[in-house]
Amino acid sequence: MDDLVWETTGTEIDYRCPGFDVRRDDVRFPDGTDGEFHYVEEPPAVVVLPFTPAGDVVVIDEWRQAVGRLNRGLPAGTVEPDDADDLERAAARELGEETGYVADAFEHLISVEPANGLLDAVHHHFVATGCEPTADRNLDHNESIAVDVVPYDQLLAEVVDGERPDGRTVTAVTQYELTRR
């Protein structure tokens, strides 16, 4: 398989903004020709599938500018440098900040590269159980979020029917359904 590997001969950040960078790599392709490859560098993120003691799921409705619509999905956010060694702490922080809920326990569900042809991001999905509304929300300045609680089977049906196209939510719900339920 070595005949498929690209060699990186140089690299630079072409654009920086809050949340991500656009990197340009100078590459040598397996046939010996040279070219460029641009991609988005994004810090790791956590995604939380939070269950209440009754088995319902805490979901969020959030404006997503890139697609120009309200999105119903799961709490998620960037792993901060202080959380890099403790992804459960990052998941708990994001759950509390976005929803005001605190969980009794977290279990790692799966880690995925959601679009590794375009970005280097890794999303770490967790199941949170025993979630109760006891924390203070602390939204970022650019977050517009409403919190709701729905039956798990309703969220599952919406994912299966394509009514919830958010990739993080689809990944978490289908992985949970296939491996935990």
CB 39 within 8 A of CB 118: yes
Chain centroid to Cα 42, Å, comes to: 11
Give per-residue pLDDT as tens, 71-119: 999 999 999 988 889 999 999 999 999 999 999 999 999 999 999 999 9
Residue 66, helix vs strand vs coil:
coil
Tell me the pLDDT band of 18, cut-offs 50, 70 and 90: confident
Give per-residue pLDDT as tens, 43-79: 999 999 999 999 999 999 998 888 999 999 999 999 9
Tokens coding 121: 């991001």
When mean pLDDT is compared across 82-96, 131-145, 155-169, the lowest value belongs to: 131-145
Strands 45-50 and 123-129: parallel
CB 168 within 8 A of CB 125: yes
pLDDT at 50: 98
Strand partners, 70: 63
d(CA 35, CA 9): 10
pTM here is 0.92
Tokens coding 133: 């509304």
CB 39 within 8 A of CB 23: yes
CB 56 within 8 A of CB 151: yes
Tokens coding 91: 């998941």
Half-sphere exposure for 34 (CA within 13 Å, toward CB): 5
pLDDT at 169 over 80: yes
Averaged over 171-178, what is the pLDDT? 97
Average pLDDT, the chain: 94
pLDDT at 74: 98
pLDDT at 1: 72
CB 44 within 8 A of CB 52: no
Tell me the pLDDT band of 138, cut-offs 50, 70 and 90: confident
pLDDT at 84: 85
